A and B are shown apart, each in its own frame.
Chain A
C-alpha cells in the first residue's frame, strides 16, 4: 500500500496553494539557464548520425573506413562496434544502431564524431552501406494481415517486461473486459457504432533533443542532456552499451520542453558510444529536421467505438477497438495502447465493456509518449461519439454526460477504486462559465468534452537535508522540464517543514546526487514525487523535533515548527530557532539531519481474466476535466478559429495555482494544434515530407484563444496535501471539444483528425 500522511491537515496551508513565482524564473528570463547546446567542453567533438534512406531493407554491409580517413574524424561506428543487444521500455526491440535491418527512413545506421560539425557531416557521406530492399509495411490494416511482411522477424525472442500478447506485426494486444457486454447491448434501447482515425503528430519542443557525453579513463560515463528521465536514461544506457549503472552519471540540464519526446533515449546512447571510443567529450544535438523525422511522435490510430444506451440516456455497454501504429520500434507503444484503452470509457460509469487495444509495427519512425499517452486518440473518438449518440437520442450533450459521470468511490477500468472524482463539478463549472446553451451567431458553435487521466504510478524517492543554518535542500530525481516541479516540490517540502520558501533550495535530476525517480511522465510528479518529498520532509521534521525536544525539555509531540521557529504548542515563548537546530546537529550533537523516503504506487491487483496483456501495474490519483470551446468557421475557406475556451481540471489541491493554469492553457493550445492542423505526412516511400516548422505548423499566439482556466479541488486522500496531477489531461479534451463545436457550427461531423481547412471545406461543400 502507499504510505500516506493526512491529506490535508487542519489549519491553513502557508506555502502550498500559493501563487509562488517559479524558482527557475529569473535564470530563464535572463538567458542564464544552461541547456544542453549551451555546453561546450575542452576538446569536445561533434557527433552526427547516418540514417537510412530506405523504409525497410537488409543491411548487407556497413564500411566506415573511408570516413575514418577523413582528417578531423575521430570515431566512426556501426552496430558491429557495439554490444549485440537491444533496449526498450516494454519490449527490448531497439538496437543502438541498426543491426541486420533498417526499419524506417531515418533509422540510425552509423555515427561519427569529428572536430567540428561540417567535418562530421562530410564523414557521413563517406560511409558505405549496402542495402537489400525489402517490401515495407506502412499501414496497420496491411500490417495486421497474416500475409504482411514482418517488421521484426523474431519478436518472440525479445526480452519483455510484461506478459505481451503478440502475433505477426502486433507487438502488444491489451484487453479489458467487464460484465456480459453482448447481453448488455441486447438490453440497450439504442446501440450506435462509429469509427474514427487520428494522425501522427510530433511533440515539437522548441529545444531539440541533444546530449554531451564524456567517458573517462576509469570507465565513468557522464551524460549532460535534456531529458524527462535521468534515472530511466541510466537504465537504457546500461541495457544498450552494457555499462553498469554505477558508472553512469546522467545530469538533466534545463530542458526546453519534453511533452513525452524526451523520456526515451534519442541522442544519449549514441553520444555515449561515440565518447567511449573518442576518449573526449562528444556533443550530439538533433537538427529540427531530425526532430521531426526520427523522434517518437504520437501514434496515429484507428478507433471504433460502440455504445449501448437506455431510453433515459444511461450508458449500459461499450466496446472499443483501438489500433495504434507504433512504427518501427515498440517504444512506449504497448503502454500507450493499453493506457489509451483504459481511458476509453471516458469519465463515465459503464457497467459492461470490452476494450481491445492493438499496438502494431510498421516501417515508420517509432511512435512514443506524447502528452496524454494514448488518451488523446481515444478521447477524440469516444467524446466525439458521445456527442453523436446524444444527438441521435435527442439529449443535450452536457445533460447526457451528466447522466453518466463517475462519482467518488466508483471503480476505474481494471477495478481500481477512485476516491476523488471531480468530473461533475468540472463539467458544471465549464458549462456555466462558457454560457452553455446561449445563442451564438451564424457559423459559430460550442462543443464540450470530458476526460479522465491518472497521476499516480510506479516509484519515486526523495531526500531532504537540513543545513547548519536551518535552511533546507530537497533532492529529487524529478526534472523540471518547464512543468514547474522545482517550484511545487519545494513548496511541498516547505509546507511540511514549516519553513518559508526562501529557506528552501532544490537539487534535481542528477543521478550522482539525487535519488531515484522513474520519469517525468504520466502526470505523476506532483502526486507521486510530491508524496516522496513530503514524506522525506516529514522524516526530517521528526528528527528536528526530537532534537529540539531534548533542549526544550518536552516530548517531541508537543512541538511544532512555525515559520522557521520550533515552539512548544500553546506556549510560543518556549522556542528554538531552526538555525540553532541546524547548528547543533552539525557541530555539537547527533549529527546532520537527513530525511528520506521512498514510495511505490501499489496494492491493487488486476483480475487476470479481466485485464489481459496490460503492461502497467496499478495506478492511482485519477484526475478529471472538462473543456468547452467556441469556434467560428469561415464558410468560404473552412478555416476554424477557436474564439473562446473554458477548461476545468480536477487537480486535487492545487499546489501552485499559477502553475496549474499554465498547464491548462498550454495543454489546451497544444490540443488545438492536434485538432486543427498538426500532422506528420509521409510519402509513398515512407519519407516524412513536412520536416520543418514552416511545413509542420504548431499554434502561434494568433491561433491560441483566450482561455479561462478553472481549478476544481477534489481532494485526493493519497496525494500530498490532497494534490493530484495536471500535466497531460489538459491536452486531452481539446480535439473532441473542437470537433463537437465544429459540428454545431456547420452541421459537419469530422471523424478523422486533423480537422483542417481542406477537409472541412470539402465536407461543407457536400452539405
Chain B
C-alpha cells in the first residue's frame, strides 16, 4: 500500500508516493538521494540521522514518513546557500570539530537548533543540546568550542 505524502524539504515542495510505514530517513536517503543525513544505528540511539522538523531536531530513523505530511523538513543539505556554507558549517571546519565526519551532519543540525533557540548558549547548554548526538572521534570538545564561537552572532 502506498500513500502520498506532501511536505517541504529544504524549502522546496516534495510529493512522494511511498509505503507510509517507511521512515523519513529511508525516504530522504533512498528515494530523494539526500545522503548527507547518516544512519548510525536505525534505533534512535546515535543522533546521526538528526533533521529538523518545523525547526525541532528529530532522529529521522524513528519518524514515519506519513508523520511529516504538511511539515517543513530541513536536512544538512538545506543549510548552505548559493554555494556558501552556513556559519555553523564554517565554524565546524575552522575549529577542528570534524574528524571522520559521520556524526557531523546530525551534530550540525542539533547545533542549529541550539543556536536558533538560544543565541547565547553556555558551554553546559551546548553539551546538553548535543548529548543525543554521539561522536566517537572528537571527544566533543572542539565541537562544543565551534558552536561556542557562534554564541551571540547572527547565524
Chain A residues with CB under 8 A of B113: none
Find out whether the CB atom of A31 lies under 8 angstroms from the CB atom of B36: yes
> Is the C-beta of A25 less than 8 angstroms from some C-beta in chain B?
yes
Q: Which residue in chain B gives the minimum CB-CB distance to A38?
A: B35
**A701 and B144 in contact (CB under 8 A), knowing A28-B104, A259-B136, A662-B99?**
yes
Shortest CB distance A23–B (Å):
10
> Is the C-beta of A735 less than 8 angstroms from some C-beta in chain B?
no
Shortest CB distance B139–A (Å):
4
* Of A22, A25, A662, A698, the contact of B134 (CB 8 Å cutoff): A698
Find out whether the CB atom of A37 lies under 8 angstroms from the CB atom of B39: yes
Size of chain B's interface in residues, with CB distance under 8 A?
55
Shortest CB distance B75–A (Å):
7
Give the docked Cα–Cα distance between A445 and B30 (Å): 51
Find out whether the CB atom of A206 lies under 8 angstroms from the CB atom of B42: no
> Is the C-beta of B138 less than 8 angstroms from some C-beta in chain A?
yes
Give the docked Cα–Cα distance between A694 and B131 (Å): 13
Shortest CB distance B11–A (Å):
16
Give the docked Cα–Cα distance between A37 and B40 (Å): 10
Chain B interface SS verdict (over half)? loop
Give the docked Cα–Cα distance between A693 and B137 (Å): 16
Chain B residues with CB under 8 A of A207: 38, 40, 100, 102
Within 8 A of A (CB), among B53-89: 75-77, 79-80, 85, 89
> Is the C-beta of A415 less than 8 angstroms from some C-beta in chain B?
no
* Of A31, A483, A658, A694, the contact of B37 (CB 8 Å cutoff): A31
> Is the C-beta of A12 less than 8 angstroms from some C-beta in chain B?
no
Find out whether the CB atom of A22 lies under 8 angstroms from the CB atom of B96: yes
Find out whether the CB atom of B98 lies under 8 angstroms from the CB atom of A29: yes
- The listed residue with most A CB atoms (<10 A of its CB), out of B30, B40, B128, B130, is B40
Shortest CB distance B73–A (Å):
14
Chain A residues with CB under 8 A of B135: 206, 701
Q: Which residue in chain A gives the minimum CB-CB distance to B41?
A: A288
**A666 and B40 in contact (CB under 8 A), knowing A21-B94, A29-B108, A256-B101?**
no
Find out whether the CB atom of B102 lies under 8 angstroms from the CB atom of A205: yes
Give the docked Cα–Cα distance between A254 and B38 (Å): 13
- The listed residue with most B CB atoms (<10 A of its CB), out of A258, A659, A692, A701, is A701
**A34 and B77 in contact (CB under 8 A), knowing A666-B138, A701-B140?**
no
Chain A residues with CB under 8 A of B37: 31
Within 8 A of B (CB), among A641-690: 658-659, 661-662, 665-670
Give the docked Cα–Cα distance between A702 and B134 (Å): 11
* Of A28, A38, A258, A668, the contact of B139 (CB 8 Å cutoff): A668
Shortest CB distance B135–A (Å):
7
> Is the C-beta of A513 less than 8 angstroms from some C-beta in chain B?
no
Chain B residues with CB under 8 A of A28: 98, 100-101, 104
* Of B29, B76, B95, B143, the contact of A30 (CB 8 Å cutoff): B76
Shortest CB distance B69–A (Å):
24
Find out whether the CB atom of B40 lies under 8 angstroms from the CB atom of A706: no
Find out whether the CB atom of A206 lies under 8 angstroms from the CB atom of B130: no
Find out whether the CB atom of A206 lies under 8 angstroms from the CB atom of B38: yes
**A659 and B96 in contact (CB under 8 A), knowing A31-B76, A259-B136, A668-B139?**
yes
Give the docked Cα–Cα distance between A205 and B137 (Å): 8
Find out whether the CB atom of B101 lies under 8 angstroms from the CB atom of A482: yes
Q: Which residue in chain B gives the minimum CB-CB distance to A205?
A: B136
* Of B95, B133, B141, the contact of A707 (CB 8 Å cutoff): B141
Shortest CB distance B93–A (Å):
4
> Is the C-beta of A571 less than 8 angstroms from some C-beta in chain B?
no
- The listed residue with most B CB atoms (<10 A of its CB), out of A22, A206, A707, is A206
Q: Which residue in chain A gives the minimum CB-CB distance to B83?
A: A30
Shortest CB distance A708–B (Å):
10
Chain A residues with CB under 8 A of B144: 701
Within 8 A of A (CB), among B8-54: 29-30, 34-43, 45-46, 48
**A693 and B45 in contact (CB under 8 A), knowing A257-B136, A707-B141?**
yes
Find out whether the CB atom of B108 lies under 8 angstroms from the CB atom of A256: no
> Is the C-beta of B120 less than 8 angstroms from some C-beta in chain A?
no
* Of A25, A27, A206, A208, the contact of B103 (CB 8 Å cutoff): A206
Size of chain A's interface in residues, with CB distance under 8 A?
57
Chain B residues with CB under 8 A of A668: 139
Find out whether the CB atom of A30 lies under 8 angstroms from the CB atom of B136: no
Shortest CB distance A412–B (Å):
29
Shortest CB distance A731–B (Å):
10
Chain B residues with CB under 8 A of A665: 138-142
> Is the C-beta of B7 less than 8 angstroms from some C-beta in chain A?
no
Shortest CB distance B58–A (Å):
17
Find out whether the CB atom of B143 lies under 8 angstroms from the CB atom of A701: yes
Give the docked Cα–Cα distance between A667 and B141 (Å): 12
Chain A interface SS verdict (over half)? loop
The contact string, 1 if C-beta is below 8 Å from chain B, for chain A 445-488, is: 00000000000000000000000000000000000011110000
> Is the C-beta of A33 less than 8 angstroms from some C-beta in chain B?
yes
Give the docked Cα–Cα distance between A668 and B95 (Å): 19
Give the docked Cα–Cα distance between A206 and B142 (Å): 18
Within 8 A of B (CB), among A26-85: 26-35, 37-38, 40
Find out whether the CB atom of B142 lies under 8 angstroms from the CB atom of A662: yes
* Of B89, B100, B108, the contact of A482 (CB 8 Å cutoff): B100
> Is the C-beta of A204 less than 8 angstroms from some C-beta in chain B?
yes
Find out whether the CB atom of B140 lies under 8 angstroms from the CB atom of A35: no
Q: Which residue in chain A gives the minimum CB-CB distance to B33?
A: A40
**A30 and B40 in contact (CB under 8 A), knowing A25-B98, A665-B139, A706-B141?**
no
Chain B residues with CB under 8 A of A482: 99-102, 137
* Of A203, A257, A661, the contact of B142 (CB 8 Å cutoff): A661
> Is the C-beta of A24 less than 8 angstroms from some C-beta in chain B?
yes
Find out whether the CB atom of B43 lies under 8 angstroms from the CB atom of A31: no
**A702 and B131 in contact (CB under 8 A), knowing A29-B98, A30-B79, A257-B102?**
yes
> Is the C-beta of A154 less than 8 angstroms from some C-beta in chain B?
no
Chain A residues with CB under 8 A of B140: 665, 669, 700-701, 704
Give the docked Cα–Cα distance between A19 and B82 (Å): 27
Chain B residues with CB under 8 A of A287: 42
**A31 and B142 in contact (CB under 8 A), knowing A287-B42, A692-B43, A693-B41?**
no
Find out whether the CB atom of B43 lies under 8 angstroms from the CB atom of A29: no
The contact string, 1 if C-beta is below 8 Å from chain B, for chain A 252-282, is: 0011111100000000000000000000000
Within 8 A of B (CB), among A486-514: none
Give the docked Cα–Cα distance between A702 and B124 (Å): 8
Chain A residues with CB under 8 A of B105: 31
**A29 and B104 in contact (CB under 8 A), knowing A208-B40, A483-B99, A698-B136?**
yes
Find out whether the CB atom of A35 lies under 8 angstroms from the CB atom of B102: yes
* Of B38, B85, B102, the contact of A26 (CB 8 Å cutoff): B85
* Of A26, A29, A34, A257, the contact of B137 (CB 8 Å cutoff): A257
Chain B residues with CB under 8 A of A666: 99, 136-139
Shortest CB distance A367–B (Å):
18
Find out whether the CB atom of A702 lies under 8 angstroms from the CB atom of B35: no
Chain B residues with CB under 8 A of A704: 127, 139-141
Shortest CB distance A389–B (Å):
30
B residues in contact (CB < 8 Å) with A: 29-30, 34-43, 45-46, 48, 75-77, 79-80, 85, 89-90, 92-96, 98-105, 108, 126-128, 130-144
A-B pairs with beta carbons under 8 Å apart, 22 shown: A29-B89, A30-B76, A31-B36, A31-B76, A31-B105, A35-B38, A37-B38, A206-B46, A207-B40, A257-B136, A288-B45, A659-B96, A662-B96, A667-B139, A692-B43, A693-B43, A699-B139, A700-B140, A701-B128, A701-B140, A702-B131, A706-B141
Other A-B contacts than A35-B35, A670-B139, A707-B139, 12 sampled, CB-CB below 8 A, are: A28-B98, A29-B92, A30-B36, A31-B105, A203-B136, A206-B103, A207-B38, A665-B139, A666-B138, A698-B134, A704-B139, A704-B140
A residues in contact (CB < 8 Å) with B: 19, 21-22, 24-35, 37-38, 40, 203-208, 254-259, 287-288, 481-484, 658-659, 661-662, 665-670, 692-694, 698-702, 704, 706-707
Q: Which 8 residue pairs are nearest across A and B when measured between Cβ atoms?
A: A31-B36, A482-B100, A28-B101, A256-B102, A665-B139, A669-B139, A25-B93, A482-B99
